[in-house]
Homo-oligomer: A and B are copies of this chain.
């Protein structure tokens, strides 16, 4: 292997962290992103262009060893175009499945991965049938294009059904059973080019207004629950012939683990692995797409990651917290925008409580200062 170059479709903070994991290995990344101020810009050449622009795609992969993506919104047609020029890992299939809630749910079902009840909604009549079959509360979701709680409506009564239909009814939809989950979990794994899979411990996640705020790892979970989650993600990786890192979000209802959705890429709930595991999700993704052996996923401590949404706290305040690691994505502040994160590591989970509450207070203050100018 001499001087490998990875072309990354998308140049956000995930691309930035991929490049930071790649550089020690002697691997350079370059990026395609529509924005000149894409967060990855500091860490490799940036081609500014749309992710469906054939010229831009050709330009970013020219001379690259392999292509990959850091955003699940990359059109599958772009991945297929790229595949004619250089290997792309993971491939178009992982994009297609993750971009369509029906394909995603069908894939889960075909693999015996438990999910919430769901029904396809093509028109007002099928919506009413679905509400009747599944019951309320339920969640109406667009089949395509939703993320971080966008493109969704919670239906509690008939008025909600009418309102949601007026707002979302002009596109393919899916109605999902409302899950009164006890907690949200995720599991992240990497599959290499030979089909070997490594998985990190389960992560417990807390969202605020639909956006991830906190991840804790390893989540408290029985061996059975962990095994079930690892089995699910492994079946999914194999089914998609996915080479690289993938995240599966899960609802823990207390009785069952239900698959919510997959992200065919490195994932926000895996940022703790940078300092908290022997090998990070980013390094294993780079190793996988280059055909290198995967690294161990063993945690090195108990971790809590907090997202900075909207604005960053003073870095010095974060750095003063014990065993804290500050990450600034170099993005402009904007309400709700993910502009950075910090990870705390401790030898036992109780030792995380005080610094975590302090870190959350800093994060909330930084978010609030953005929202009330």
In the bound complex, residues from chain B placing their C-beta under 8 Å from that of A16 are 23
Which one, B23, B320, B327, contacts A43 given CB within 8 A? B23
Residues of B within 8 A of A278 (CB): 323, 345
| Cross-chain contact B296 with A25 (CB below 8 angstroms) | no
The stretch of A54-62, A159-167, A214-222, A287-295 that contacts the partner chain: A287-295
Among B28, B314, B328, point to the contact of A24 (Cβ < 8 A): B328
Find out whether the CB atom of B28 lies under 8 angstroms from the CB atom of A42: yes
Check A287 against B319 for contact (C-beta < 8 Å).
Answer: yes
User: Does A255 count as interface, using CB distance less than 8 angstroms?
Assistant: no
Asked if B1 and A23 sit within 8 Å, CB to CB, the answer is no
- Flag whether A364 is at the interface (Cβ < 8 A): no
- Tell whether A180 is near chain B: CB-to-CB under 8 Å: no
Q: Is the CB of A326 within 8 A of B293?
A: no
Residues 325-355 of A, flagged 1 when their CB comes within 8 A of B and 0 if not, give: 1111110000000001000010000000000
Q: A278-B345, A315-B1 are in contact. Are A26 and B323 (CB under 8 A)?
A: no
CA distance A42 to B316 in the complex (A): 28
Task: Indicate with 1 or 0, residue by residue over A255-279, a CB within 8 angstroms of chain B CB atoms.
Answer: 0000000000000000000100010
Task: Report if A3-B316 is in contact (Cβ < 8 Å); known contacts: A20-B24, A296-B323, A325-B24.
Answer: no
Minimal Cβ-Cβ distance residue in B for A300: B300
- A300–B329 alpha-carbon span in the complex (Å): 26
Q: Does A44 reach chain B (CB closer than 8 Å)?
A: yes
Q: Which residue of B lies closest to A298 (CB)?
A: B323
Interface status of A146 (Cβ within 8 A of chain B): no
Give the shortest distance, in Å, between A332 (CB) and chain B (any CB): 11
Q: Tell me, in angstroms, the Cα distance from A325 to B283 when the chains sit together.
A: 10
Chain B nearest Cβ from A72, distance in angstroms: 24
Is residue A63 contacting chain B, with contact meaning CB distance below 8 A? no
Q: Within the complex, what minimum Cβ distance (angstroms) separates A19 from chain B?
A: 8
Is A149's beta carbon under 8 Å from chain B?
no
Contact for A293 among B3, B28, B274, B320, CB less than 8 A: B320
Q: Which of B43, B292, B328 contacts A319 (CB 8 A)?
A: B292
Question: B295 touching A319 by the CB < 8 A rule?
Answer: yes
Report B-chain residues with C-beta under 8 Å of the C-beta of A195: none
Tell whether A44 pairs with B44 under 8 Å between CB atoms, given A26-B330, A292-B315.
no
Bound CA span A293–B295, Å: 32
A residues neighboring B (CB under 8 Å): 1, 3, 16, 20, 23-26, 28, 42-44, 274, 278, 287, 292-293, 295-296, 298, 300-301, 312, 314-316, 319-320, 322-330, 340, 345
Jot down 9 A-B pairs with beta carbons below 8 A, ordered by A.
A1-B314, A1-B315, A25-B326, A25-B328, A26-B329, A293-B316, A293-B320, A296-B322, A300-B300
Contacts A1-B316, A296-B323 given; 6 further ones with Cβ under 8 A?
A20-B23, A23-B42, A26-B329, A43-B43, A287-B319, A292-B319
